[in-house]
Amino acid sequence: MLQKLESQFTGKGEVKGFNFQQVYKNEKGYVYKVHSQESEYFEAFLRKSTALCINFEKREYSQTVFKEIYPKSKDFGVWAWTVGSLKDGINKISKFAE
């Protein structure tokens, strides 16, 4: 089983107060529109998943349930990118679908 990313959410931690809205997806990735009080931009990234943690204290992970993950700041430039427009985001992830 694979848990999909939410189509809309409000950020936590270092992106607290930012609003994220999925505006495009294909079989290889996503583009989200990011809105804060100061700016609006897009984040394009490849689809990645990880095993669902079922016991944090013992670091036990599910063998059958996985979840898609949103990139962290360290992932940008590796498998995620900040882009200026929806078109740029679609172009970025579409390169990986070929």
Q: From CA 52, how far away is CA 50, in angstroms rounded? A: 6
Say which residue, 36 or 80, is predicted with more confidence.
Answer: 80
Could you tell me if 49 and 65 are in contact, meaning their C-beta atoms sit under 8 angstroms apart? no
User: 3-56, pLDDT tens digit by residue?
Assistant: 999 999 999 988 898 999 999 999 999 999 999 888 899 999 999 998 888 777
